[in-house]
Amino acid sequence: MLGYIFKRLVYIIIAMYLIISATFFLMQLAPGSPFASERELPAAIEEQLNAKYGLDNPWYVQYKDYLVSTMTFDFGESMKYKGRSTNDIIAESFPISVALGLQAMILAIGLGVLLGIISALYHNKLPDYVSTVIAILGISVPSFILAGLLQYYLSFKAGWFPVSGWKGFTYTILPSLAIALGHAGSIAKLTRSSMLEQSNSDYVKLARAKGLGKWTTVFKHTLRNALLPVVTYLGPLLAGVITGSFVIEQIFAIPGLGRHFVTSITNRDYTVIMGTTVFFAIILLFAVLIVDILYSVIDPRIKLKGAKK
């Protein structure tokens, strides 16, 4: 197990290096500078600003400086909001995104698995059709469109939920629902086909041959095996929730990290872009690693590549 973790960490470091470097060079290639979009600055001042941020150094010097500072997790100051350190921005807004993200994930998994199980157990009967339709809606309607529609009909017109902001539990419902529904649909489909597949296997037949009832068989035998593939979806789920947050936080005016990321892109705020990118990438890479380990723990048959059991 330890050997496996070590190998994965090496991969993570390589991937991080590639991402960091790629981000840097892309920023270099990008037209425009953070100062260009503002009103015309006198040349002298612009020179000073460039010097302060080291933007007038040759690229390899900037690259070296960048790598060094990244290693020490020093993402510098925001170029747009002078005086605000990138790390502060991240520290402030990330917890909010975490809350939103976790809620969305729990919703997605809970709803998705439930719909999938119902679909499978009432195969080809009414509950199956209803669940399948809901799942399809979730998959087909992009989350931001869903968010807009929810906002319009349930907040603006019906007044059941607050329209935007992040000031209490009721503020979290619509945003997390908007993010979760799309993934709930995918999870429902996955759960459904997995349950159907397991229901046809020999050990389920044997369970019935033992005299176990239909529901006992499902909960004690089928379910555990059917949910295994769902665990592998957790990685993409997290990635999807993060990207979902970019737009949903904008629509619902939630001060999370996703929104800052998007704004920093529009503003060409390089330091914040790079800091946030690195941050997100680390989270995602570690999340996938954790999911893989989790999967091997849950399924006694799995031996991780390069691990000794």
Residue closer to other proteins by CB (options 107, 247) is 247
CB of 11 to other proteins, least distance (A): 7
Torsion of CA 130, 131, 134, 139, to 10 degrees: -140
Torsion of CA 196, 198, 201, 202, to 10 degrees: -130
Residue closer to other proteins by CB (options 160, 203) is 203
Residue closer to other proteins by CB (options 1, 283) is 283
Residue 306 CB contacts under 8 Å (≥ 6 apart), including other chains: 3, 4, 7
CB of 210 to other proteins, least distance (A): 4
Q: Which residues of the chain form contacts with other proteins (CB under 8 A)?
A: 11-12, 14-15, 18-19, 22-23, 26-27, 29-31, 132, 136-137, 139-142, 144-145, 148-149, 151-152, 156, 201-203, 205-213, 220-221, 224-225, 228, 239, 242-243, 246-247, 251, 262, 265-266, 268, 273, 277, 280-281, 284-285, 288, 298-301
Which tokens sit at 298?
């849950």
Residue closer to other proteins by CB (options 27, 114) is 27
CB of 150 to other proteins, least distance (A): 11
CB of 146 to other proteins, least distance (A): 9
Neighbours of 240 (CB within 10 A): 20
CB of 207 to other proteins, least distance (A): 8
Alpha helices of 168-256 — where are they, by DSSP H? 169-199, 202-209, 214-217, 223-226, 228-232, 234-251
Residue closer to other proteins by CB (options 43, 209) is 209
Q: Which of 137, 296, 130, 118 is nearest to 196 (CA)?
A: 118
Reported for 298-305, long-range contacts at CB under 8 A and 24+ positions apart, including other chains, are 298/228, 298/231, 299/228, 304/1, 304/4, 305/4
CB of 73 to other proteins, least distance (A): 18
Residue closer to other proteins by CB (options 239, 304) is 239
Neighbours of 189 (CB within 10 A): 20
Which tokens sit at 169?
């539990």
